[in-house]
């Protein structure tokens, strides 16, 4: 079993532990399987050893891509799928392939290509977390990479441009969401009462789409019309990424409580010290105030003193 495991990933917002779908997949699987990952939030992909996010580092082993990271975690005995049958395993692979083929291109388009969303949500979010001058360059590069990735997988006769592909990728994504909704039904997870790899992938892809404050909400609106998928996301957030009203995690709350206890003890000590000082003052002998002796001046001396008081020097 690996001695330590550190996951480099993009940070969170909008009520999510990470706004990046693939980072969220790995983080969610780690929660499902109990893998003790140390989360390292990065401010640009170039900080990662291989420039790929998410990235898992364990001793001298460096792994990128969610599927490879999850396989590594399983080899370390952190397996969320140990109760699945071989048929369930095959279904898992099929649905993950469906997500990659049908939903992921539409997500890339929604976040990185749709102009209103890109310039008002995606670009400002990433630019605010990337140091200058990379904040000017990296968001545009990530947008170009999204275009190239979509064209590589979807571009071809008769669809050659990104605008021609838009209608098709949104149609495919809505079909994918409908299939996921039908498969989930009224169950809490896709294979019953326990979360698995498929749940981690579905949550990782759906949660950013569900929570992002988009201006163009075509795909988001369709998702919100499928209440079981929305409840699925909300339940995982509340059960596995629970935060209290002060914004701290349960582990962080323990630290807050300990600090509060120390502060209370310090205040009590100071209060006791003040009480002792009061007691000592009460017990100390009290001397009456001394009376001042009044000296009566003659008329001539009083006149001289009056002149002296009026003098500026």
Distance of CA 172 to the CA centre of its chain: 29
What is the C-alpha to C-alpha distance for residues 145 and 305, in angstroms, rounded to an integer?
94
The answer to whether the beta carbons of residues 115 and 185 sit under 8 Å apart is no
Q: Is residue 266 part of a domain?
A: no
Q: Is residue 68 part of a domain?
A: yes
Q: Is residue 227 part of a domain?
A: yes
Q: Is residue 162 part of a domain?
A: yes
Q: Is residue 151 part of a domain?
A: yes
pLDDT (0 to 100) of residue 47: 54
Place of tokens 């693939």: 22
Distance of CA 243 to the CA centre of its chain: 11
Closest CA to 12 of 255, 241, 267: 241
Place of tokens 């790929």: 52
pLDDT (0 to 100) of residue 91: 96
Structural domains in the chain (count) = 1
pLDDT (0 to 100) of residue 236: 97
pLDDT (0 to 100) of residue 226: 97
What is the C-alpha to C-alpha distance for residues 166 and 160, in angstroms, rounded to an integer?
11
pLDDT (0 to 100) of residue 302: 46
Q: Is residue 156 part of a domain?
A: yes
Helix (H, G, I), strand (E, B) or coil at 18: coil
Half-sphere exposure of 277 (CA within 13 A, CB side): 6
Q: Is residue 308 part of a domain?
A: no
Q: Is residue 112 part of a domain?
A: yes
| pLDDT by position in tens, the chain (length 313) | 556 899 999 999 999 999 999 999 999 999 999 999 999 988 665 555 445 789 999 988 899 899 999 999 999 999 999 899 999 999 999 999 999 999 999 999 999 999 999 999 999 999 988 888 888 888 999 999 998 888 887 766 555 667 778 888 999 999 999 999 999 999 999 998 999 999 999 999 999 999 999 988 889 999 999 999 999 999 999 999 975 333 334 344 344 334 434 433 443 444 445 455 555 555 555 545 444 444 444 444 444 444 343 333 3
The answer to whether the beta carbons of residues 21 and 53 sit under 8 Å apart is no
Token pair for residue 49?
A: 């050893």
Q: What is the extent of the structural domain holding 209?
A: 5-242
CATH of the domain at 177: 1.20.1050.10
Q: What is the 3-state secondary structure (H, E, C) of 105-151?
A: HHHHHHHHHCHHHHHHHHHHHHHCCCCCCHHHHHHHHHHHHHHHHHH
- pTM for this entry: 0.75
Place of tokens 């080899």: 75
What is the Cα Rg of the chain in Å? 33
């Amino acid at each position: 079993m690996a001695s330590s495991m550190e996951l480099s990933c993009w940070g969170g917002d909008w009520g999510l532990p990470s706004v990046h779908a693939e980072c969220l997949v790995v983080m969610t699987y780690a929660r499902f399987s109990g893998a003790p990952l140390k989360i390292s939030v990065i401010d640009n992909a170039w900080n990662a050893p291989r420039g790929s996010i998410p990235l898992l580092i364990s001793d001298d082993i460096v792994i990128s891509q969610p599927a490879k990271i999850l396989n590594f975690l399983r080899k370390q005995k952190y397996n969320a799928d140990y109760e699945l049958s071989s048929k369930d395993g095959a279904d898992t692979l099929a649905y993950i392939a469906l997500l990659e083929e049908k939903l992921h291109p539409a997500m890339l388009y929604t976040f990185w290509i749709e102009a209103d969303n890109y310039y008002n949500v995606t670009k400002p979010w990433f630019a605010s977390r990337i140091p200058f001058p990379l904040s000017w360059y990296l968001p545009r590069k990530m947008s170009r990479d999204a275009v190239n990735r979509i064209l590589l997988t979807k571009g071809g006769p008769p669809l050659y441009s990104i605008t021609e592909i838009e209608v098709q990728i949104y149609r495919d994504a809505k079909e994918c969401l409908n299939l996921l909704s039908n498969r989930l039904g009224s169950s809490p997870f896709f294979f019953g009462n326990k979360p698995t790899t498929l749940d981690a992938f579905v949550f990782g892809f759906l949660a950013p789409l569900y929570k992002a404050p988009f201006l163009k909400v075509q795909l988001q609106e369709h998702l919100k019309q499928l209440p079981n998928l929305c409840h699925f996301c909300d339940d995982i957030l509340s059960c596995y990424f629970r935060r209290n009203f002060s914004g701290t995690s349960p582990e962080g709350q323990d630290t807050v409580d300990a600090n509060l206890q120390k502060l209370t003890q310090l205040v009590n000590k100071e209060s006791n010290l003040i009480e002792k000082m009061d007691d000592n003052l009460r017990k100390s002998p009290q001397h009456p105030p001394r009376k001042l002796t009044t000296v009566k001046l003659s008329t001539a001396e009083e006149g001289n003193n009056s002149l002296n008081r009026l003098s500026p020097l």
